[in-house]
Copies of this chain bind each other. A is one copy, B any other.
Amino acid sequence: MASHESAHGAGPEKTYWYHGDKAAIQRRLRRIEGQIRGLQRMVEDDEYCIDILTQVSASTKGLQAVALNLLEGHLAHCVAEAQVQGDAAEAEAKVKEATDAVARLLRT
């Protein structure tokens, strides 16, 4: 996590992974949280399985949008910083780490 430290620095004002859109990500996450609670109500009320599956797909799509937003900021800041600083091993490690994260997203 040392690399996180170096990338994110001392305080919240130093976070790099969002282009001022931390608020947008939080709004998305709250909407997804509401969808998950909605799913619990649908299950409780024995709603039609296909309608529940459609809502599951919508929640998953919301999570993917969050992931892409985070990934874009991460590439633009944490990875870029490592590359600009010229430490080839660190830059390569950052790229590998980001690609592994994409692999986990693809497998889910």
Give residues in A with beta carbon < 8 Å to B: 1, 3-4, 7-8, 12, 15, 17, 22, 25-26, 29-30, 32-33, 36-37, 39-40, 43-44, 46-54, 56-57, 59-61, 63-64, 66-68, 70-76, 78-80, 83-84, 91-92, 95-99, 101-108
Interface of A is mostly: helix
Asked if A108 and B72 sit within 8 Å, CB to CB, the answer is no
Q: A40-B26, A102-B102, A104-B53 are in contact. Are A92 and B70 (CB under 8 A)?
A: no
Q: Give the contacting residue for A29; candidates B25, B40, B103, B108; CB below 8 A.
A: B40
Q: A26-B43, A95-B76, A99-B75 are in contact. Are A49 and B70 (CB under 8 A)?
A: yes
Q: How far is the CA of A30 from the CA of B56 in the complex (A)?
A: 14
Q: How far is the CA of A67 from the CA of B16 in the complex (A)?
A: 27
